[in-house]
Amino acid sequence: MNFIFDVGNVLVEFKPLVYLKSLFTDNTLVEKIHATIFKSPQWLYMDLGIMTHSEAIEFYSAREPEFESAIYHTMKSVNDMFIPLPDTIKLLPALKDAGHDLYYLSNIHKEIRDFLLSNHEYFKLFDGGVFSCDISAAKPSPEIYRHLIEKYRLVPGDSIFFDDVQENVSAAEKEGLKGVLFTTADCVMRYL
C-alpha cells in the first residue's frame, strides 16, 4: 500500500493566523498581514513556482508600503511556522516497517520546500513525492495527482491520500486514489 501525505497541517503545522499572532500583538496588523500575504494570489503564485519569495516580498511591500517592515519580518521568518506534528511523524517509521511506501504531495513554495527537506530528517523516510512549485500545478488540479501517479508508477487503487482539505481529497478520489480527510494521526492509524 502507498501512503501519500499532504504536508501542511498533516506533517507540519500550517496556521498563518497563529503564526502572525506570535509575531505581532496588534490584532489589526495581524489581520492586515494575513490578508496581504496569505490570502493573496501571490501566495498561490509562489506555490506554483512562478513567483519567488523575494519577488513576493517586493510585490507586497510595493502594494502596502506602510506595512513594509511587518511584511519583511513575516516573510523572512515564515519557515518558523512549519512545526512538525509529532503524532503523524512518529507513524512514518511504523508505516515503513510494515512494508508501505511513503510519498508526499503538497502545495508549497521553493524556499519552504528547501527548508523542510534540509531541516526535517523524516523526509528521508519518503520514497518520493511532488511539490507544486516543481511542476507549476497545485491541488486540487488533476495534473498534480496524475504527475505523482505517473512519476512513481503508482496503482491508484493501492494508494491512500491524506489531506486536511476536503476539496483536495475529493480531487484525489477523482484520480482513483483512496482519499482520507486528515483530522488527526488516528485517521492514519486505522490504515496501519
Query: What would the DSSP string read from start to end of 136-163?
Result: T--TTSHHHHHHHHHHTT--GGGEEEEE
Q: Are residues 56 and 141 in the same domain?
A: no
pLDDT of residue 192 exceeding 80, the answer is: no
Which grid cell sits at 163? 489531506
> Cα separations (Å) of 34 from 28, 53, 59?
10, 16, 15
Dump strand ranges (E) for 16-118. Answer: 101-106
Which of residues 59, 80, 101 is at a domain's end? 80
Q: Are residues 63 and 116 in the same domain?
A: no
pLDDT of residue 138 exceeding 90, the answer is: yes
Q: Are residues 89 and 159 in the same domain?
A: yes
Q: Are residues 99 and 30 in the same domain?
A: no
List pLDDT tens digits, range 141-174: 999 999 999 999 999 999 999 999 999 999 999 9
C-beta separation of 129 from 162 below 8 A: no
Which of residues 60, 80, 100 is at a domain's end? 80
Which grid cell sits at 46? 509562489
Q: What is the separation of C-alpha 73 from the centre of its chain, rounded to a whole number of angstroms?
A: 21
Q: Using 50, 70 and 90 to split pLDDT, how confident is the model at 190?
A: confident
C-beta separation of 42 from 35 below 8 A: no
Query: Which amino acid type is present at position 57?
Result: I
Structural domain boundaries, residue 148:
2-13+82-189
Q: Are residues 185 and 141 in the same domain?
A: yes
Q: Are residues 160 and 170 in the same domain?
A: yes
Q: What is the CATH number of the domain that holds 169?
A: 3.40.50.1000
Q: Are residues 111 and 158 in the same domain?
A: yes
Residues 5-11 have a mean pLDDT of 98
Q: Are residues 166 and 102 in the same domain?
A: yes
Residues 98-112 have a mean pLDDT of 97
Give the chain's domain count: 2
pTM, rounded to two decimals: 0.94
Residues 93-113 have a mean pLDDT of 96
Q: Are residues 62 and 119 in the same domain?
A: no
Q: Are residues 6 and 20 in the same domain?
A: no
C-beta separation of 162 from 186 below 8 A: no
Q: What percent of the chain has pLDDT above 90?
A: 97
